[in-house]
Structure 1
Amino acid sequence: MPLFAYVGRDGKGGQVKGQQEAATMDAVASTLMGRGITPVAINPASDVKEQVPLEVRFQRLMGSSGVSVEELIILCRQMYTITKAGIPLVRGVRGLAESIKHYVLQKTLFEIADRLEAGMELSVSMRYHTDVFSSLFISMVRVGENSGRLDSVFLQMAEYLERELDTARRIKSALRYPSFVLIALAVAMVVINIFVIPAFANMFSRFDAELPLPTKILIGVSDTFVNYWPHMLIVVAVSVGLWWRYMKTDNGQRFWGETKIRLPIIGDIINRASLARYARSFSLMSSSGVPLPTALALCAESIDNRFLMEKILGMKSGVERGESLIRTHTASKMFTPLVLQMVSVGEESGQVDELLKEVAEFYEREVDYDVSKLSDRIEPIILVIMAVFVMILALGIFLPMWEMYNIQK
């Protein structure tokens, strides 16, 4: 159906804008009048030039919806309150849209409200906005609609997103200090190679003396920085471009996904955080009555790791062939024996959702502990790197100065 943009006045005289799918303009006008809105202007949406804020244009250019996890959590909490209180969805969603200041989310909710008025279900309306709502989110809403438990689904999604956000914040907080130190060290290396070492090299060249090996290495690296920096910039830019392009391919995403979980120190934390997300998602879907193959497919999409995603999809294929959960989980080689035992018990007792919830909590406790100790494990490595850098710099600069001092004596 065609999409029309309208401008109208509500019962209090306030301006109301939005979009509506309908067969004709008259149908749009009738719908608006039925909602107590007096239409002022109705035009095909293609004829209306949308005034999009600059930050939204930038977000679209970067391929981002611009809707943060925090905003989705607040939305889930608000939708839980609306559905729990028995407020009609159309009125509730439209009321939320009018109170939200975020441009993209407000526009999304207005369009969802328009589709709800046209007779669509909430989950179907959300499928038009996959840049805002994930497949897991939409499927859970669909389950809530079919089971009459839409309020509990929104509450579960809010708690799920809050846990995901908390884990991500903990990891970022633990990596912030080491990241700043390494960046400062890299800047210091560039400054020293461009400005400091050339000054010492000019001084050493006045003396006809054999320079120590560390000094020769420092001067050679400095000459490379000073004389070939345009070439180095080009090489770095081309390398970054090729890497970015490779990361867009399936092989690149698979390679990076496997590399991330094999990194020293943080790789194991990333792996367990991903498995906790899988177990939490699977428990949520299973307790809501989603079929196992569908639940596994949605859990695979919820994990931001191509390597692990393909393993979960392999488990889905095994379940579709009639294999048991414990057999597919064992074949994936993703889980510890303790977790496999819990999955086996859950499958035998018919309480897979409860046992997977325990698995998720087990992984989350381990991740929380490791993240709290992450800084303590990284700081010694940072100190060693800085000590090696200072030692090389000191030997390269002070060794020839000591030799010249001995010669003069």
Structure 2
Amino acid sequence: MPKFRYKVIDEAGNIIEQEGNYPSEDVLLAELSKGGYYLVRIEKLEKEEKEKKAEDRKGFNLTFPFGGSVSDRDISIFCRQLGTMVNAGLSLVDALSIIADQTPNKRLASASKDIAAKISEGMGVSDAMQKHPNVFPEFVINLVKVGEETGNLDVSLIKAADYYEKIAMIKSKIKSASFYPTFVVVVATAIVSGILYFLVPTFAQIYSSLGGELPLPTQILISASNTLRNSLPAVIISIAIFSLVFRYFYRNNYSFRKGVHKLSLRIPKMNDLVVKSTMAKLARTMATLFSAGVALERAFEIAGQVTGNLIIKEAVEQAKKGVIEGEPMYRALDKTGLFPKLVIAMIKVGEDTGRLDDMLETIARFYEDEFDKAVDGMIKLIEPMLIVFIGGVVGLILIALYMPIFKMGELIKT
């Protein structure tokens, strides 16, 4: 029997939140109506649990086993094209058919064709999009639904396009910030490994033929080379196994992924990037949803999902409960202890003046600029540090290799 969670207000004005098993939602509604309760919210827990498990498996990625992935930029282009054609007076079926023929993404093209077919059969756009949860995020579906209800579908689609352009820019910045140091470290590791595997053994043979005792740095270097040559398959297998195990647990274990996200908030410099990028995404998401007229509770749910960090997501869910119970948004967020004081203060001003969506837009722009500056600063800091580190490692190897040459007379036995 399905399990439901519901929140009601009794005749005395008391708020009651309970869970229970009922044959159907209609039966539950009938019983609440007989009891004189005013329904605030009702949700089916079995469906919620399935959605959480599906989200846990996805690991917050729009990836697919076949047909490629649907990126934020793909969604942005789709929404902008559809919104522009609808605004120009083209029918939804014709617009979606054109997009399906033009888009290079096979998964998105296939979904567009299917949506066009369902609309021609009488189904709504948002309902048709819901049939493709792996292609269209809930954010887009909710904006489209609001656009259908208000008669401003083109406006909602353009809002979605602008939003995903901003999100794609943030993610692109994150990738660019991580690409350079990762590339340098990989290349440096390959060079050092090549020296240890191919060059050092040649010097070791020369020195062994001369006899004598080698300097300690040279002995350590030759030992490291021998270890690498003798254990190279084991090292490669160990690295591959570690990577696969880490990836498996990160994708499938909620607690493990939460631990990784918690660690990212504690590492110096990295936590600054995580917080600023998350605040930018969170504020832009809520600003877009509020301005489009999406319900407060739903806006909080979607905003929590796009953060990409489980610690902050749980904080958003905690704040959502406080807001539903009547707390001001700024106070509910402040209680979590994770949101910067600047965000809390600006949200308070937005609530007091009745311009919360405008204030959230301001927060989003501020943190997007701050994130750009933080990324540029991080790259400028990492670049000289990596050069010094790699130069130092290579320099020590060369010194250890050539030290015996400086003592060649002592090594050659008469």
Tell me which interval the TM-score lies in, with the shorter structure as reference length.
0.7 to 0.9
Quote the residue 2:331 is aligned against: 327
| Alpha-carbon shift at residue 398 of structure 1 (Å) | 1.9
C-alpha spacing 1:62/1:384, structure 2 compared with 1 (3 Å): farther
Structure 1 position 399 matched with structure 2 position 375: no
Alpha-carbon separation, structure 1, partners of 2:89 and 2:178: 44
Whole-angstrom distance in 1 between the partners of 2:223 and 2:167: 48
Q: Tell me if 1:154 matches 2:147.
A: no
Runs ≥4 residues deviating over 6 A:
none
Q: 1:100 to 1:408 in 2, by over 3 A?
A: closer
In structure 2, the partner of 1:217 is 220
Residues 1:359 and 2:325 aligned together: no
Q: Equivalent residue of 1:206, what SS?
A: helix
TM-score by length of 1: 0.80
State the Cα deviation string for residues 335-365 of structure 1 (Å, max 9, x = none): 2222211111112222211111111111011
Contact map agreement 1:253 1:307 (CA 8 A) in 2:
no
Q: Deviations over 1:169-200 (max 9, x none)?
A: 23333443333221110111211111111111
* Distance in 2 between residues matched to 1:64 and 1:353, nearest whole Å: 37
C-alpha displacement of 1:295: 0.7
Aligned 8 A contact 1:135 1:301 in 2: no
Q: In structure 1, which of residues 189, 194, 201 is the aligned counterpart of residue 192 of structure 2?
A: 189
Does 2:250 correspond to 1:247? yes
- Tell me the distance in 1 between the aligned counterparts of 2:64 and 2:78: 25
Give distance in 2, aligned partners of 1:140 and 1:132: 15
- Structure 2 CA distance for aligned equivalents of residues 102 and 341 of structure 1: 43
Question: Aligned partner of 2:277: which letter?
Answer: A
Number of residue-to-residue matches in the alignment? 351
Deviations 1:95-147 (A, max 9, x none): 33234343222211110011111211101100111111111111111111112
Change (3 A) 1:118 1:161: same
Where 1:67 maps in the other structure, the secondary structure is: coil
Aligned to 1:371: 375
User: Cα gap change, 1:330/1:401 in structure 2, threshold over 3 Å: closer, same or farther?
Assistant: same
Q: Percent identity?
A: 30
Deviations 1:217-250 (A, max 9, x none): 2112111111111222222222122111211210
Q: Counterparts of 1:97 and 1:367 in 2: how far apart (Å)? A: 35
TM-score, with length taken from structure 2: 0.79
Shift of 1:154: 1.0
Q: Show the counterpart of 1:176.
A: 179
Change (3 A) 1:271 1:63: farther
The residue type paired with residue 144 of structure 1 is G
Paired AA for residue 383 in structure 1: I
Instruction: Give the CA RMSD over aligned residues.
Output: 2.2
**Unaligned 5+ residue runs, structure 1?**
1-58
Q: 1:312 matched to which residue of 2?
A: 316
Paired letter, 2:228:
F
